[in-house]
Structure 1
Amino acid sequence: MKPRSPKKTKSSNQPKTKVKEESLLPFQPLPLLFPIPPLSNRKRKSLFLFLNILILLQCSSIQQKDKEVYHNHFENTEKEVHSKLEELQKSGIKSLSYMYLLGDGKIHVGNLGETDKNKIQRFKIGSITKLFTGISLLQLQDQGKLKLDDPVSKYLPEIAEMQTRETNLSEISIRDILTHQSGLPSDFASGFFLSPEVTDKEILDSFHSLSKQLSRTERNPPRKVHSYSNFGFGLLGIVIERASGFGIDEYFQKEIFAKAGMKHSTLLELKEGSELVSGYSGLFWKTKTKRQIIRDLTAGSLSTTGEDMGLFMKALFQSKKGEGLLSKSSFVEFHHIQKGPSSNFQMKMGLPLILQEKVVEGKSIWIAGHSGSLPPYFADLVYDPETETASFIAGNTAGFATANIQPTNQTIMDIIYEYKTGGSLESPPLVERKEQNQLDGYYGMYASPYGVHEVKNGKPPQVDIMGINFDLVEKENRFGTNLYLFFGLIPIKDKTIDSFRLEFEPWEENKVFTLYSSSLTKGSIGFAFRFEPDHKLPDSSYFTTYQTKDPVSIIPRLELKKDKRGFLLVTIHYSLGGLGYSSTLPCQMESATNLRILGYGRNLAEKIELKKVDGKPRLLYSGIEFSTEPI
C-alpha cells in the first residue's frame, strides 16, 4: 500500500507523504524494551543470529554520494526515503508507520502495508517510552518538585527494604536510574506481562504494586556498570506520581500529550478515537498475536502514531526557545552526555537518550535517539537536535524483517541530514592505540550478556562467540577477526566481520574484553568478564528443566545443567510476542542454597535460589518460583 496522499496544493510537484503545515500545530519549530531475541540456539543458526544482533546495534551508513544528490533536493530525498521504507515493509512487516522531519517545521508521515483507512491505528513503541519518562522528570525538576540528583529513597522509601550483597551501599539517585547505572535488577520477571484481557484499572493496580516488590529483590552497587533496567524505569513512574500528585497516565496526558497536541497516544490500552494495530509474528508465515500488556508502564508501554511522534518532536525542539515541553536548560541537560561507569568505555548516554558520535567534515556531531521493542512491535527514533531533523519507524511484525528497522531508520536519517546540511554523517575513526594489545594472561572463559565465550591459545588464537570460532589477528594494535567455515577451508568475507575489533584490558582487578567496530561504539553491547570455573555443583537432582504455571510469563522455563567442561550453566527461556529465545549463562555456587549468575550487565550478577518442596527441586528466580512440574 502506498503512503497516504497529502492534501492538494497549487504546487505541481506534490510529496507523497502527508505534510502537516506549521500553522496547524500548537507550537512553532533532537542497550530496547527488549533486545531483539535470537530465534534458536541451534549452532547452524548461530552465525546468522550473531550478525543479526550486531547489525541491529550498529548504525548503517549510506554509500558515499555527492552532496548535490540530496542537499536541498526534495524530490530526490523523498523518492529515496520512500524507496527505503517500501523495501523495509515488503521484507516481511505487515504494517509500518513512519515519520520524518526535514528541519523545515513540516511533519511527513505515512503508513505502509495492511492499514485500515477508516481507523487511526497506534503502534507500541517499547522503550522509546523512556524518553517521555525522562522528560517528565526534567519537567518536575523545572517546577522545583524534585532534583535528578535526589536519592530515589526520598520518593520511594520502600527501596530501603531491598536485599544487598554488600553492606553500606551508597544511595541510588534518580539520575542513576535514568542512565541505567543504578544497580537495580534489569527486570522483575514475576508479573511483568499481564493477561491480554485485563482492564486499564487492573493495569494501573499492577503498576502500583511495583514498589511492594522491592523487598523481594536485590540490588548491586550503583555507578559501577551500565545495566539496562526496565524495573528501574517502572519505579520512576511511581516517583513521577508521588512528586507531581497526578496519576501516571493523567500526568503524561496533561503535561506531554496535550502540550504537544498528541491526540492518539496513551500509556494504557484504551484510547477514544484510535486503536492498537494488530501484531503478528512468524519467520515465514505470519500469525496474529495476542496483545502484549506490561506492568512497567513507564519503561515501555506507550502506543502512538507517526503523526503524534512528529508533534512530539516539534514540541521537544520548541523547548530550545523555552516554549515547548522543557525549559531551555532542561533541553540542554536532556541531550548532555552524562557521566558513566568506566566499564562502558565509550558508550554515551543522555537522560536517557543514546548519544552517538558522527563526524561531518572533521567536526563531531552527536545524534540522539532510542529504539524500542515490545514484540511483536518494534520502533526506532533518531534525530539531530541542532538541525531539528528526525526519522521514526514503527512496525508490528516479529520476524526476520524486524532486524532491518533500525538500520533502515539510520540510513534515512543519513539521507535527511544530507538534505538539510549538505554534509555526510560518517562514523568516527577508531581511537588510536600506540601498542599492540596482548593476550598473555587473557586466555580462558568469559561471561557477557551474550553468554559464555572462550579465548583459546593457538596459531592463530581464537575467540568463541555464540558457538562460532573466530580467528584473532593483529590489526591496528588491536585484534581483528577472521572466520573460516567448512573445517577452516573457506574464508568468509563480510564487511561486518572485517570491521570487528577486540580489546583485552584490565578493569577493577578483572580481565575483560570488548567487541566493537568503527560504527559500533566500544562498550555499547557490554563487555565480557573473565571467570575461573570453580566446578562446585549442587545436588545432581537440580540438573533438570523447570517451568512456571503462569501462562503469560516472560520466562516460561529455566534449565540448570553442567557444562561439558564441568561448570554450572543456566538457560533462561523467554517468550515474547509469539516468538521465543533463550540465553545460556554461567553460574557459580554462592552458598548451599544460592547460585550467582556471573558477569556484569543486563540480567547478569543476579541470584537464583535453590530449594526443595516435598523432596522435589525448585528454583526461585526474578520473583518466579519454577518447578519440575507446573506448580
Structure 2
Amino acid sequence: MTPRSSKKPKSSAQSIPKVKEESILPFQPLPLFFPKPPFTNHKRKSFFLFLNIFLFLLQCTSLQEKPTEGYHNNTVTTEKVVQSKIEALQNSGIQSLSYMYLLGDGKIQSGKLGGDNKNSIQRFKIGSITKLFTGIALLQLQEKGKLKLDDPVSKFLPEIKEMLKSKPNLSEITIRDILTHQSGLPSDLASGFFLSPDASDMEVLDSFRGLSKRLSKIERIEPKKAHSYSNFGFSLLGTVIERTSGLGIEDYFQKEIFLKAGMKNSTLLEFHEGSELVPGYQGIFWKTKTSRPLIRDLTAGSISTTSEDMGFFMKSFFLSKKDKGLLSKESFAEFHRIQKGPISNFQMKLGLPVLIQELVGGGKTVLTFGHSGSLPPYFADLVYDPETETASFLAGNTLGLATGSIQPTNKEILHLIYEYKTGLTLESPPIADRKDQNKLDGFFGLYVSPFGVHELKEGNTPQLEIMGFDFDLIERENRFGTNLRLFFGLIPVKDKTIESFRIEFETWEGEKIFTLYSRDLAKGSIGFALHFQPDQPLPDKSYFTAYQTNDPYSLIPSVELKKDKRGFLFAIVTYSLGGMENKISLPCKMESPTTLRILGFGRNLGEPMELKTVNGKPVLVYSGIEFLEK
C-alpha cells in the first residue's frame, strides 16, 4: 500500500537514525497478552523483565521535553518528523510496519513499510484494540433499545447463572462490569483459547459460540471488587451481540461497523476476499516466520485490518460527535466518559473500554484515549484525541526487541501531532501531593502481584524485591522511590522520569498493599501487590511435580507445583505466546485437600486449581486444562 500523505517515506536504504531496540513491555496497558523475551534462565529473565520497566520509563522522557522544532501549523516539518520516527521504528527490527495518523484535517495519512509482498493488500492483527469495536457494537445495540449497559448479562446469557461461585450470594454481573474489566470473571479460559492455525472460519465460530456451554464448570468471584483484565468476559459479550442483534458476529461487525466506516479490508475471521493477513515473524537478529495465531475469543482480540481502514474507522468514529458516525453523539460521549470502577483502580481511568490518560497542555487537563493490542507475533497501538480529532496508529508483525518501542513511539507521534494542531505541548501531570508520611512498620513481609512474589525487607535501608532483584527504598515526598542503578550498581540512573517512579504502601479494604507508578504510569494501571502470609498446609508430596498438556496450541503448556525457598506453596505457570514462553511464579493456599487458590487480585490471580489422582498418577486442573505429570 502506498502512503496517502504528500511526503512519501524514504527507503530503508537511506540514512535514518535507528531507535534503540528494547524488549517487549511486561505491562502494556490492557493488551491481549503480556509477551516477554525468551530467556531460559529464570533469574536472568527476571532481571530483564524489570529492566524493561526502566527502559520504558526512559523512553518516555522525550515526551516530557518541549520539541526543538516548531510544529504548530507546519505540515511539512510535522510530517517529516513523524515519518522519520515511523521509518526508524521499522528499521529497528520490525519486518513489516503499518501506520496511520490524522492531523486533525480529516485527511488520512497511511502506509506500510517493509515486507515481502508489495502488490497485495495485507492486513495486520490488532489484538485487544478489537475491544473498542466490541464496546461500540454494544452502544449501538443500546441505541436501538436491544439492551442496556447496566442490564445483567444473565438477561441475554442465562448460562452465566450456572457458573461456580467463590462464595454464596455474589452480585449479578452487568454488561458495563465486563466492559470496564471489573466483572469477577476469569482473565482467560486457557483451554481452547488458541486453535490450530489450519482451522477454518466455521471451526473458529463453533469454538467461539461453544464458550457459553462451558460456563457451568468455570468459577467467578465478586464483581466490582478489583480491576482484572478479562479476554474471557469480552468473548462472552460477543455472544450477547449475536443474541440481541440476530446476526452472526462477523456479519454484525461487517454490516454495522466496517461497512458504515468504509473499512473494506477488515475482518474478525481469517479469510477475506481482496486482502490477506501479513505473515508474522519472531526473532531478534534473524527473523523466523511463525504460524498465524487463531483464537476462540473473537470479540476480545481477533480483528485484522489495514492502516487505511483504521483511518476510515477513526474518521467515522469522530463523525459521531455530529450524529453522523458509528454512534450517536450521546453514545460517543459515554464511550469516553470516565467510568466508575473499583477503588483498586486508584488513579487508573477507563472508558468503554478505552484507556484514558490524563495529561497537561497549556496549563489545562487534556485527556487522550487509546488501547494497545498484542496477539504475538503481532502488536498494535492506537492513541487519539477526540477534541482535536487527531490520532496515531502503529502495527507490527515481528515479535522481538523492537516491538517494545511501538507504544512509546506512537505516543510520541500523537504528542507531535497535538502540538501541530494546537501549538501546545503535552506533558505528564505532576505526581499528586501526599500529606501523610508512608510508614513501613507492619508492612514488611511477602506480597503477590501480577508480576509474581515480592518481599519487603527490613534494614538500615529497606529493600523491595521485584522480579528477583532487591532495590533500595528511598523516602521521597512522603512515599518511597527506588534507588535505581543499572548494571548492578555500576551506572547511577539520572533521569527525571525515573526520578518520578514511586512506591506507596497503604491499606486497602483492610489489606496491606503497595502500588508502583510514575508520572507516565497512573497508579493502579499495572495492578497492585497484596500482602500475604505463607499458608503452612501443603498437599500430598506426590503433587509436587511438573505437569504438561498434550495440546500443541495451548496458551498454557505446563504448570509446576513447588515449595518456595521459604517453604510455602506456589505454582510456576508457563505461557506460550507467538513461539516464546514466559514463566510466572504465583503463591497458592490450600482451600481443601484437593483445591488450591492462587493468592492476590488482578489478572490471573485469585483463580482455583484442582488436584486429583487418575490411575495412580497426580493430575492438576487449571483454567479448564487437565495437566498430566511430565
Task: Give the TM-score range, shorter chain.
Answer: over 0.9
Moved more, 96-105 or 83-92: 83-92
1:364 aligns with 2:356: no
CA drift of 1:497 comes to 4.0
CA drift of 1:537 comes to 1.2
Root-mean-square deviation (CA, aligned residues, Å) is 1.7
Aligned to 2:7: 15
Aligned to 2:47: 47
Aligned to 1:444: 445
1:197 aligns with 2:198: yes
Tell me if the contact between 1:225 and 1:600 (Cα under 8 Å) persists in the aligned partners.
yes
Letter in 2 for 1:273: G
Aligned to 1:27: none
1:235 aligns with 2:236: yes
Aligned to 1:151: 152
Partners of 1:218 and 1:55 in 2: how far apart?
Answer: 38
Tell me if the contact between 1:151 and 1:172 (Cα under 8 Å) persists in the aligned partners.
yes
CA drift of 1:44 comes to 3.0
Aligned to 1:4: 2
Equivalences for residues 298-313 of structure 1 within 5 A = 298-313=299-314
Equivalences for residues 516-555 of structure 1 within 5 A = 516-555=517-556
Letter in 2 for 1:290: S
Aligned to 1:118: 119
CA drift of 1:535 comes to 2.2
Moved more, 110-119 or 583-592: 110-119
Tell me if the contact between 1:89 and 1:113 (Cα under 8 Å) persists in the aligned partners.
yes
Tell me if the contact between 1:60 and 1:411 (Cα under 8 Å) persists in the aligned partners.
no
Partners of 1:239 and 1:490 in 2: how far apart?
Answer: 54
Aligned to 1:25: none
1:331 aligns with 2:335: no
Give the direction of change, closer, same or farther, for the CA distance of 1:548–1:445 in structure 2 (3 Å limit).
Answer: same
Give the direction of change, closer, same or farther, for the CA distance of 1:319–1:61 in structure 2 (3 Å limit).
Answer: farther
Partners of 1:292 and 1:496 in 2: how far apart?
Answer: 36
1:612 aligns with 2:604: no
Partners of 2:107 and 2:461 in 1: how far apart?
Answer: 55
Tell me if the contact between 1:618 and 1:625 (Cα under 8 Å) persists in the aligned partners.
yes
Partner-residue secondary structure (3-state), 1:404 = helix
Letter in 2 for 1:37: K
CA drift of 1:42 comes to 3.0
Letter in 2 for 1:398: L
Tell me if the contact between 2:3 and 2:112 (Cα under 8 Å) persists in the aligned partners.
no
Partners of 1:5 and 1:500 in 2: how far apart?
Answer: 39
Equivalences for residues 204-603 of structure 1 within 5 A = 204-484=205-485, 491-493=492-494, 497-603=498-604
Tell me if the contact between 1:17 and 1:108 (Cα under 8 Å) persists in the aligned partners.
no
Letter in 2 for 1:47: F
CA drift of 1:473 comes to 0.5
Q: Deviations over 1:123-162 (max 9, x none)?
A: 0000000000000000000001000000000000000110
CA drift of 1:65 comes to 3.1
Partners of 2:9 and 2:491 in 1: how far apart?
Answer: 47
CA drift of 1:62 comes to 2.8
CA drift of 1:67 comes to 8.2
Give the direction of change, closer, same or farther, for the CA distance of 1:493–1:59 in structure 2 (3 Å limit).
Answer: closer
Partners of 2:105 and 2:488 in 1: how far apart?
Answer: 56
Give the direction of change, closer, same or farther, for the CA distance of 1:387–1:484 in structure 2 (3 Å limit).
Answer: closer
CA drift of 1:484 comes to 4.6
Give the direction of change, closer, same or farther, for the CA distance of 1:573–1:249 in structure 2 (3 Å limit).
Answer: same
CA drift of 1:6 comes to 4.7
Letter in 1 for 2:33: F
Letter in 2 for 1:49: L
Stretches (4+) displaced over 2 A: 3-7, 36-48, 53-68, 483-499
CA drift of 1:499 comes to 2.5
Q: Deviations over 1:85-142 (max 9, x none)?
A: 1111111110000000000000000111114221000000000000000000000000
CA drift of 1:490 comes to 5.9
Tell me if the contact between 1:6 and 1:17 (Cα under 8 Å) persists in the aligned partners.
no
Aligned to 2:21: none
Identity rate of aligned residues, in percent? 69
CA drift of 1:15 comes to 2.0
Tell me if the contact between 1:282 and 1:579 (Cα under 8 Å) persists in the aligned partners.
no
Give the direction of change, closer, same or farther, for the CA distance of 1:189–1:458 in structure 2 (3 Å limit).
Answer: same
Q: Deviations over 1:192-213 (max 9, x none)?
A: 0000111101110000001011
Partners of 2:197 and 2:67 in 1: how far apart?
Answer: 51
Letter in 1 for 2:8: K
Tell me if the contact between 2:268 and 2:303 (Cα under 8 Å) persists in the aligned partners.
yes
CA drift of 1:540 comes to 1.3
Give the direction of change, closer, same or farther, for the CA distance of 1:542–1:342 in structure 2 (3 Å limit).
Answer: same
Aligned to 1:163: 164
Partners of 2:61 and 2:590 in 1: how far apart?
Answer: 42
Partners of 2:495 and 2:568 in 1: how far apart?
Answer: 34
Partner-residue secondary structure (3-state), 2:63 = coil
CA drift of 1:43 comes to 2.2
Q: Deviations over 1:20-68 (max 9, x none)?
A: xxxxxxxxxxx30112324335323433321325655896643533686
1:34 aligns with 2:33: yes
Partner-residue secondary structure (3-state), 2:393 = strand
Partners of 2:405 and 2:610 in 1: how far apart?
Answer: 39
Partners of 2:61 and 2:612 in 1: how far apart?
Answer: 48
Partner-residue secondary structure (3-state), 1:618 = strand
Tell me if the contact between 1:17 and 1:109 (Cα under 8 Å) persists in the aligned partners.
no
CA drift of 1:498 comes to 2.9
Q: Deviations over 1:377-396 (max 9, x none)?
A: 00000000000000000000
Partners of 1:151 and 1:585 in 2: how far apart?
Answer: 32
Partners of 1:371 and 1:324 in 2: how far apart?
Answer: 23
CA drift of 1:468 comes to 1.3
Give the direction of change, closer, same or farther, for the CA distance of 1:117–1:284 in structure 2 (3 Å limit).
Answer: closer
Tell me if the contact between 2:9 and 2:87 (Cα under 8 Å) persists in the aligned partners.
no
Unaligned runs of 5+ residues in structure 2 are 11-29
Unaligned runs of 5+ residues in structure 1 are 8-13, 19-30
Letter in 2 for 1:476: E
Q: Deviations over 1:435-470 (max 9, x none)?
A: 221111100000000000000111110000001111
Give the direction of change, closer, same or farther, for the CA distance of 1:5–1:169 in structure 2 (3 Å limit).
Answer: closer
Moved more, 277-286 or 489-498: 489-498
Q: Deviations over 1:322-370 (max 9, x none)?
A: 0100001000000000001111210000000000000012211110000
Partner-residue secondary structure (3-state), 2:426 = coil
CA drift of 1:545 comes to 0.9
Partners of 2:321 and 2:495 in 1: how far apart?
Answer: 43
CA drift of 1:4 comes to 2.8
Partners of 1:214 and 1:153 in 2: how far apart?
Answer: 12
Partner-residue secondary structure (3-state), 2:448 = strand
Aligned to 1:107: 108
Partners of 1:383 and 1:232 in 2: how far apart?
Answer: 25
Tell me if the contact between 1:97 and 1:306 (Cα under 8 Å) persists in the aligned partners.
yes
Tell me if the contact between 2:37 and 2:400 (Cα under 8 Å) persists in the aligned partners.
no
Partners of 1:425 and 1:586 in 2: how far apart?
Answer: 41
Tell me if the contact between 2:235 and 2:298 (Cα under 8 Å) persists in the aligned partners.
yes
Aligned residues: 609
Aligned to 2:19: none
Letter in 2 for 1:233: F
Partners of 2:272 and 2:590 in 1: how far apart?
Answer: 49
Letter in 2 for 1:4: T
Moved more, 366-375 or 476-485: 476-485
Letter in 2 for 1:599: G
Give the direction of change, closer, same or farther, for the CA distance of 1:262–1:247 in structure 2 (3 Å limit).
Answer: same
Partners of 1:400 and 1:177 in 2: how far apart?
Answer: 32
